[in-house]
């Protein structure tokens, strides 16, 4: 059994396996070389050969316990025929959303559009370097995807109230999304993903009164579906105020915590496997500081199943040498 699955399923506390969100990406010069020649981000995600190469780049450098596929949560809106573009120094922009057209999209058409992602997982699984390592597939949580699809740009660049003006529209969209997200999960698993992570990047923007309808209930449905495939589920409800409630309502196998939450409180409140927490900005400091902060998380969760990760993705300006130092420190601790 892989180290991560052993930690999750057998609740093993003898080691803390390690991987990073956004471990394949902009901080690596070998990724920047590929990106320089491939300006269209969506096309790059749909190039199975290059996407697999990018997925494997960090494993060629560091002693990590998992590959996370090089893709994006917004590939699902793309699969649902909403225009998706990534603009330099701005982020994603999405085209107009036509609710009537969404429910008419066939399962086959959706799968066909996203098939290169499933091929990339196959290719990654067949590579020798992923032997005895997990391949992590992922989706965006329905609330976060609905927010992008209605808002059409990153919600931090606009008011969330624009979206919540029409609650029925959000509920209808979430229902449609869950149908296709299950298809996307199933196809990732059938092609070799051994773990699924659900990213709810904007869960923290919601008031408590909306959490059940938009976060707890739809995400719980996807967690139950994934578990029915005998695949562990990691949930990352970034910025959420009450992780304890989230775990009780959604029931993930692993909860990924962000860097603004007190790990001591998580230790007290939560008895499932915990992942992450370290502030990615720590990697921009020095080795002594990295060691001190990493040790803090390892010591707090010493007798609890714990997967070492960050409280968000690796920042583009991170020095790969610092990542290597952190990986080696955790591995030898």
User: What is the pTM (predicted TM-score) of this model?
Assistant: 0.97
* pLDDT tens, position by position, 263-289: 999 999 999 999 999 999 999 999 999
- pLDDT reported for residue 88: 83
**Angle in degrees, CA 296, 300, 301, rounded to 5:** 120
What sign does the dihedral 179-181-185-190 (CA atoms) show? Answer: positive
CA atoms within 13 A on the CB side of 177: 32
Domains in the chain and their CATH numbers?
A: 3-332 (3.20.20.210)
What are the C-alpha distances in Å from 192 to residues 8, 9, 42, 155?
18, 18, 22, 32
CA atoms within 13 A on the CB side of 296: 15
What are the C-alpha distances in Å from 62 to residues 11, 89, 286?
25, 28, 18
Q: Residue 83 belongs to what H/E stretch?
A: none
- pLDDT reported for residue 154: 87
What's the average pLDDT block by block, 10 residues per block, for the chain (333 residues)?
A: 97 96 97 96 97 98 98 98 91 93 93 98 97 97 96 79 90 97 98 98 94 98 98 97 97 98 97 98 98 98 98 98 98 95
Q: Are the CB atoms for 19 and 327 separated by under 8 Å?
A: no
Q: Are the CB atoms for 45 and 70 separated by under 8 Å?
A: yes
Tell me the β-bridge partners of 67.
135
CA distance 234 to 126: 24
- pLDDT reported for residue 158: 63
Tell me the β-bridge partners of 256.
275
């Amino acid at each position: 059994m892989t180290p991560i699955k052993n930690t999750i399923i057998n609740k093993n506390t003898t080691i803390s396996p390690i991987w990073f969100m956004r471990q394949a990406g902009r901080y690596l010069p070998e990724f920047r070389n590929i990106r320089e020649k491939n300006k269209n981000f969506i096309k790059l995600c749909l190039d199975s050969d290059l996407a697999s190469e990018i997925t494997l780049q960090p494993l060629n450098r560091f002693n990590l316990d998992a590959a996370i596929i090089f893709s994006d949560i917004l590939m699902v809106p793309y699969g649902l025929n909403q225009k998706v573009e990534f603009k330099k120094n701005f982020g994603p922009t999405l085209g107009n959303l036509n609710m009537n057209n969404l429910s008419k999209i066939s399962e086959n058409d959706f799968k066909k559009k996203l098939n290169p992602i499933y091929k990339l997982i196959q290719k990654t699984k067949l590579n020798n370097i992923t032997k005895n390592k997990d391949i992590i597939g992922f989706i965006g949580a329905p609330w976060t995807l609905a927010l992008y699809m209605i808002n059409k740009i990153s919600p931090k660049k606009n008011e969330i109230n624009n979206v919540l003006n029409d609650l029925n529209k959000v509920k209808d969209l979430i229902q449609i999304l869950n149908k296709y997200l299950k298809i996307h999960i199933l196809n990732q698993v059938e092609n070799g993903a051994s773990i699924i992570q659900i990213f709810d990047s904007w869960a923290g923007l919601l008031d408590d009164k909306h959490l059940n309808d938009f976060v707890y209930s739809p995400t719980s449905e996807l967690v139950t579906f994934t578990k029915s495939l005998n695949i562990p589920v990691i949930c990352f409800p970034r910025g959420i105020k009450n992780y304890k409630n989230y775990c009780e309502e959604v029931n993930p196998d692993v909860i990924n915590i962000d860097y603004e939450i007190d790990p001591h409180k998580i230790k007290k409140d939560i008895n499932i496997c915990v992942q992450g927490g370290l502030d990615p900005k720590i990697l921009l400091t020095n080795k002594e500081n990295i060691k001190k902060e990493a040790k803090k998380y390892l010591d707090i969760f010493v007798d609890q199943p714990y997967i070492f990760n960050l409280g968000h993705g690796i920042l583009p300006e991170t020095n790969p040498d610092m990542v290597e130092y952190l990986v080696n420190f955790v591995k030898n601790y």
